Structure 1
């Protein structure tokens, strides 16, 4: 009586494990396929993150980004910037600048230091 129940339990567990592994592999395959289909956008996002993560520049002008990421329309490039986690800043002269949201604290600290240095 125990042997058939134990055999059924082992069979069910093995079947469940196999199903899980197959589903995991299929999901990974689908993700790889989507990445390959959208490789241009993924690489553009990575490039934007690279430019906006430079240790001395927290901000980059839209013109500089556009120069380095040719082949995209203005609005398409802005969408890529937003997907990469960037925010836009329009300066007093009307120029468009972008920075990563994750670097906002660093930007504020730099701005405060410049303001303090200008006071002395």
Structure 2
């Protein structure tokens, strides 16, 4: 029985060790690949982060497209809209035809403010 048990345990330890090495190697490779992708598409990543920053402002739940375009210059209109969507924003047109954007994650806050302004 011992003749079978020792080689089996040794094989399991070897397999587990090999699996751990493979896992760590793949994890490091994925981190490297992500870093390369971020560097390649740095402008887009930074534009999304900047859009999130403007739309996460404490007192401004939403921003006009004109304001966002002014601060995120260098993008064509539709490209900027794609960046805003990737950042998690949604668009609304007001009665005057102006275009406004807000983060979907702030919808509850927006609705709460809208209700409180109507009751005042």
Is the TM-score greater than 0.5?
yes
Q: TM-score, normalised by structure 2?
A: 0.93
Q: Which residue of 1 aligns with 2:76?
A: 73
Structure 1 unmatched ranges of 5 or more:
none
Distance 1:13 1:108 in 2: 53
Distance 1:10 1:108 in 2: 58
Distance 2:100 2:11 in 1: 64
> Secondary structure at 2:17's aligned position in 1?
helix
Matches within 5 A, 1:76-91: 76-91=79-94
Give 4+ residue runs of structure 1 displaced > 6 Å after superposition.
none
Q: Does 1:33 align with 2:36?
A: yes
CA RMSD after TM alignment? 1.0
Q: TM-score, normalised by structure 1?
A: 0.93
Q: Paired residues, what number?
A: 117
Structure 2 unmatched ranges of 5 or more:
none
